[in-house]
C-alpha cells in the first residue's frame, strides 16, 4: 500500500489529505504546493536579561566598526610612519600651552640628580628625547581637555564646531607624532645591539607593518653581498720586507 500526502489550501490554511492509492497503477506523488526545506539563516535574538543569564558570548567580536575618511586616514598613516612636519607641530604646540591652568609640561630633572656621577652620558642624551615626547602628550591633554570642556559647559548658543573640530585634529596630529617617536626609540634601542655591518641598513629602513619594513631581510642580504663584493676588489695590502741586506763589513779588498 502506498500512501500519498496531498496538500491543499482550505480557507487560507494548508491541509494534508492522506489518500490510499493501493491497487492502483504506479503513480508519481503530486502536490498542489511545492515543499521547500527551511534553510533560513535568520539569527535568533534573545532579551538582554536572558543574555546576561546565559553568560558572555566569547565568540562575539568586541571591536568597533569604523569607516575612516580617506583623507584623514592617508594623512595620519603617513605621519605615523614618517613623523609630523615640524611646521605643523610647532604651531600646535604653541596653540596648546602646557604651563597654565592645566599644567602638563614635562617635569625637569632635579639638580641633585644631574650632579650625580651615576647619571651616565647616555642617560643625559636620552632624556631630552623623552622630554620632547612627553611635551607632545602634554599638549594632547590640553587640547583634549579644551574640547571636553566645550561639551561640559553646554553654551546656550551651541558649540563652536569649527573650534571643537580643530582641537580634535590637533590631538590626532600630535598623537601621530608620538607614535612615530616611540617607533624611533624602539629602533635606537634595538639597533645599538646589532652588528655594525647591518646598522646602516637598519637606520635607513622604513617602517610599515614591521618596525624595519617587510623587505628588511632582502635589504640585509643585499648589503652583505655588496660588502663581500667590495672586499674582493679591494687592493691587497703591501707587505714590507724586514730582511736587511748583507753587509761586507768584515771583508777587505785584496
**pLDDT (tens digit, 9 = 90+) per residue, 18-72?**
555 444 455 455 555 455 555 555 567 788 888 888 887 766 667 778 899 999 9
pLDDT at 246 over 70: no
* Length in residues, the chain: 254
Q: Whole-model pTM? A: 0.63
pLDDT at 254: 42
Please report, in angstroms and rounded to a whole number, the separation of the first and last CA atoms in the chain.
149
pLDDT at 248 over 70: no
CB burial class (10 A; 0-12, 13-18, 19+) of residue 140? buried
pLDDT top residue among 52 and 13: 52
Q: What is the pLDDT of residues 95-149, one digit of tens each?
A: 888 998 899 999 998 887 777 776 777 777 888 889 999 999 999 999 999 999 9
Domain ranges of the chain: 71-192, 194-229
pLDDT top residue among 230 and 74: 74
pLDDT at 196: 82
Take residue 11 and report the three cell numbers written for it. Answer: 480557507
Q: What is the pLDDT of residues 181-223, one digit of tens each?
A: 999 999 988 888 888 888 888 888 888 888 888 888 888 888 7
Amino acid at each position: 500500500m502506498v500512501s500519498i500526502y496531498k496538500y491543499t489550501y482550505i480557507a487560507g490554511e494548508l491541509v494534508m489529505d492522506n489518500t490510499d492509492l493501493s491497487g492502483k497503477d504506479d503513480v508519481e506523488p503530486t502536490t498542489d504546493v511545492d515543499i521547500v526545506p527551511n534553510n533560513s539563516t535568520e539569527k535568533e535574538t534573545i532579551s538582554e536579561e536572558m543574555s546576561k543569564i546565559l553568560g558572555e558570548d566569547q565568540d562575539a567580536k568586541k571591536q568597533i566598526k569604523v569607516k575612516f575618511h580617506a583623507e584623514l586616514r592617508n594623512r595620519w598613516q603617513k605621519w605615523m610612519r614618517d613623523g609630523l612636519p615640524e611646521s605643523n607641530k610647532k604651531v600646535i604646540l604653541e596653540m596648546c600651552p602646557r604651563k597654565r591652568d592645566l599644567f602638563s609640561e614635562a617635569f625637569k630633572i632635579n639638580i641633585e640628580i644631574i650632579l650625580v656621577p651615576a647619571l651616565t652620558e647616555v642617560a643625559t642624551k636620552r632624556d631630552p628625547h623623552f622630554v620632547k615626547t612627553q611635551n607632545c602628550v602634554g599638549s594632547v591633554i590640553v587640547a583634549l581637555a579644551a574640547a571636553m570642556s566645550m561639551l561640559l559647559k553646554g553654551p546656550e548658543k551651541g558649540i563652536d564646531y569649527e573650534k571643537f573640530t580643530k582641537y580634535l585634529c590637533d590631538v590626532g596630529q600630535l598623537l601621530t607624532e608620538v607614535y612615530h617617536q616611540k617607533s624611533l626609540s624602539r629602533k635606537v634601542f634595538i639597533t645599538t645591539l646589532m652588528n655594525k655591518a647591518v646598522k646602516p641598513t637598519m637606520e635607513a629602513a622604513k617602517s610599515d607593518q614591521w618596525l624595519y619594513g617587510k623587505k628588511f631581510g632582502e635589504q640585509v642580504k643585499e648589503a652583505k653581498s655588496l660588502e663581500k663584493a667590495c672586499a674582493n676588489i679591494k687592493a691587497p695590502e703591501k707587505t714590507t720586507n724586514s730582511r736587511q741586506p748583507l753587509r761586507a763589513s768584515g771583508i777587505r779588498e785584496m
